[in-house]
Amino acid sequence: MDTNKFNYILQQADNCLILGQRLGEWCGHGPILEQDIAMTNISLDLIGQARLFYQYAAELQDEGKTEDDLAYLRDAWDFRNVKLVEQPNGDFAQTIIRQFLYDTFSCYYYEALKESNDERLASIAAKSHKETLYHVKWSGDWVLRLGDGTSESHERAQSALDLLRPYADELVIPSEADQKAAEEGYGPDLGKIAELRSEKLNAVLSESTLNVPESGFTHSGGKDGRHTEHLGYILADLQFLQRAYPGNKW
């Protein structure tokens, strides 16, 4: 098994699964029906992307496991998602800021991954990129509405940005798996993605009249299996049925 490629694929699969699970928590609780449905649809897109990556990872692992095994039967320290995606939903503004910080990465990531020398990864990226173009437009539009809206919406968006911005750059800090993937041509150069993402972030946040926190501190460790306490609670919900009734199908 190509261990590095396996770990590399898990990084993005876990990002998609955990963020999809977070957005799914809004189902039936959105501020208005249209946005409730929008968040649920984005959640389904992310979980669909996770499935494609997990299916490929399970094939590479070649241990008779399935996508469900990788999603439901790993412990928190085995997950390789960044810490941003496991942060709580908070209020609507916090969910929007978290989504925008992720979407500005994923749209450029998938665009670059389409050039992967691994045909399977390139095909997953081609499908996923179309979805992320909608995601980043949706979350970006809401950042503008909230940031340049009422005094309360601006305050809530700014508070969310102050809280979450230090988690955002872990997405573009290369792990060992990222570095080797870029060297071998099946993964993109995260440095180039960081530049594009920064331009997009700064442009939208400026138009939204939101101030980017000046602190250079960045949370990290998620790609190495070091997570916040929040991931354990997410997995307790996500994995309960499979762990309580192992092997059952429904």
Please write the tens of the pLDDT for every residue from 124-153: 999 999 999 999 999 999 999 999 999 999
Would you state the structure tokens that stand for residue 214, as one six-digit string?
A: 């000046």
pLDDT band, residue 207 (cuts 50/70/90): very high
pLDDT score at 216: 78
Tens-digit pLDDT profile for residues 70-93: 999 999 999 999 999 999 999 999
Would you state the structure tokens that stand for residue 123, as one six-digit string?
A: 């095909």
The answer on pLDDT for 246 being more than 70 is yes
Tell me the domain boundaries of the chain.
3-211+219-244
pLDDT score at 250: 65
State the chain's mean pLDDT as an integer. 95
The answer on pLDDT for 206 being more than 70 is yes
Average pLDDT over residues 219-238: 96
Residue 95 near residue 31 (C-beta atoms within 8 A): no
Average pLDDT over residues 167-174: 97
pLDDT score at 1: 79
Residue 108 near residue 196 (C-beta atoms within 8 A): yes
Percent of the chain with pLDDT over 70: 99
Q: Domain 3-211+219-244 in CATH: superfamily?
A: Ferritin, core subunit, four-helix bundle (1.20.1260.10)
Closest CA to 124 of 44, 14, 183, 48: 48
pLDDT score at 127: 97
List all residues 6 or more positions away from 80 whose beta carbon is below 8 Å from its beta carbon.
7, 10, 11, 14, 177, 222, 223, 224, 225
| Radius of gyration of the CA atoms of the chain, in A | 18
